Amino acid sequence: LRDSIPECRTDDFIEEMLRKLDWICGRSGKLKCPLLIAGDLFHHWKPSPWLLAAAIVRFKKAYEVFVVAGQHDLPQHQYELIEKSGLQVLENAGVIQVVPAGQFVMDKDGEFLLHGFPFGSEMKSSAHGNSTYPHVALCHVMTYKKKRPYPGCEEDNSKKLMKKLNHFDLIVTGDNHETFVDIREEQLLVNAGSMMRTTAIQEEHEPSIFFWYADEGEVEQIKIPIKKDVVSRDHLDVQSDRKDRIDAFVKRMKE
């Protein structure tokens, strides 16, 4: 969530962002289904009062909301400073529950146990994984299914991450803005990707939510309604033209 507008957007980005959040929270409330958010919830750890108010109004519509902190949610990317963050404001308002590092919490209907892995956490399983409840790991960590997301990425791919978290039935990850699902034996990993398309390379991205059917060990992808043709590459062309002019000028100066 943010109150700044990405260069690539040609529509009313803020209106669309709030509409999508309203749609997601509305479905959670209507279906009495907990909402799991693997971060980042906010684009900056100190969101404006207006954005906080808008988020509170919409999260009130959800049945139950669990969140782990991403690096952008944390002052100086430090979990110890979370009390200064917008996440803390939402938790104090009673509209979300921040899942602490290294602790289990249970949903209010007593159907599953949730373990928090906020930004910077060590990815490892827990002895609590032997209970009869389904266990869910909510992780803000970069992972990927096939191609590394950027040069030099040293994070585990999804299969390696699932092996490290082998006691968990479902692993929900954030940080990677792409959407994918992976399976390892009886484990599921879901990386829902970003709710909003904020860069030109996301032009074909289809924002989604996933329903988890714990008894069947399956997930269902539901695509969030979006507007077509609202992501532009024009600003990239302008930047490319500017770079070409600078390169040409430097070349002439060297002649």
With a cut of 70, say whether residue 234 has pLDDT above it. no
More confident residue, 5 or 22: 22
Q: What's the pTM value of the predicted model, to 2 decimals?
A: 0.88
- Token code pair at residue 188: 């599921």
Cα gap 98→59, rounded to integer Å: 13
- Token code pair at residue 222: 């539901």
Cα gap 220→202, rounded to integer Å: 22
The per-residue pLDDT for range 109-146, each reduced to its tens digit, is 999 999 999 999 999 887 565 578 999 999 999 999 98
111 SS3 class: coil
Q: What's the mean pLDDT in 32-48?
A: 97
Angle, helices 13-31 vs 49-59, to 10°: value is 30
> Could you tell me where the DSSP H helices lie in the chain?
13-31, 49-59, 86-92, 158-164, 234-254
In the beta sheet, which residues pair with residue 83? Answer: none
pLDDT, residue 252, reads 53
Peptide bond connecting 247 to the previous residue in cis, omega within 30 degrees of 0: no
Cα gap 32→44, rounded to integer Å: 29
pLDDT, residue 253, reads 57
The per-residue pLDDT for range 73-108, each reduced to its tens digit, is 999 999 999 999 999 999 999 999 999 998 889 999
Q: How far is CA 146 from CA 171, 174, 182, 208, 252, in A?
A: 17, 16, 10, 20, 44
Q: How far is CA 155 from CA 39, 61, 104, 123, 181, in A?
A: 17, 35, 24, 11, 17
pLDDT, residue 74, reads 98
With a cut of 60, say whether residue 243 has pLDDT above it. no
User: Residue 120, by phi and psi: left (phi above 0), alpha (psi -120 to 50) or beta?
Assistant: left
Cα gap 204→208, rounded to integer Å: 13
Q: Domain 13-254 adopts which CATH fold? A: Purple Acid Phosphatase; chain A, domain 2 (3.60.21)
Q: Give percent of the chain above pLDDT 70.
A: 89
Whether the Cβ atoms of residue 70 and residue 118 lie closer than 8 Å to each other? yes
pLDDT, residue 126, reads 73
The per-residue pLDDT for range 184-215, each reduced to its tens digit, is 999 999 999 999 888 888 888 899 999 999 99
Q: How confident is the prediction for the chain on average, in pLDDT?
A: 90
Q: What is the DSSP string of 146-204?
A: SS-SSTT--SPPHHHHHHHTTT-SEEEEES--S-EEEEETTEEEEE---SS--SGGGTT
